[in-house]
Structure 1
């Protein structure tokens, strides 16, 4: 019996953006299962609580077969072990992301040399989108409809 090829896509997803969604779709084309792992990230002081971020991601990916969502507050590598994931997905938007993401990849590999990190780029039309940009727009009631999955925009709109 062939083992399932499981990838873990960790992040804060505060909130999930169209760029994240694009990476999830791309990852699902490469792996049997993708687990979107939503980090507690208390040190980042997220705009949205963990439960709300998990709900937003679940709603955004509900129609993608083979994608599930998990919240976590431990080391990414430990979560990968819990779910038998052998690959970590990381998104790269620009050169500025590369150094940080490369360091994370090396760190995770130093903790478990059997875990690989795969870097995926979103489509060019999503390359400028980040959760921090969205959060800044939300603080000032700026337009975010073109940056977020429709269902996520609706949830955020209902919270305002």
Structure 2
């Protein structure tokens, strides 16, 4: 399947809460293939379905060469002291700021066969799990920035050539 174009800040699909996947059908299987193909490109740690224009609860990940996906993920656990972590987003290209994230995270969901998947980890994986589940709830990493940094980031968005 194709690598899908990434929706950019300002697209309403990025601010909507994604619907749960109730039935695994050919459309959901195609969505997973597209998410995986899209996240395989270099420099990508995760792609959520809304980022490719689909308002369903699914995302793919690519952490240290481990590529996969999860359907209906729920962030069930975060731990450690929240800390600022350098973060960017494919839907907000060219920006990089310190977002507040927990150092450890756990997500539970299912695969295409309905089997439970548990993804948990530290560092970049924890950050990606939080970032991608935020997308499914209509949030962007910009929402996690301290107020002054967020004002700067919004100015950068307005001045960007893609906005």
**More helix, by proportion:** 1
Bigger relative CO (Cα 8 Å, ≥ 6 apart): 1
Query: What TM-score do the two structures reach when normalised by structure 2?
Result: 0.23
Query: What TM-score do the two structures reach when normalised by structure 1?
Result: 0.24
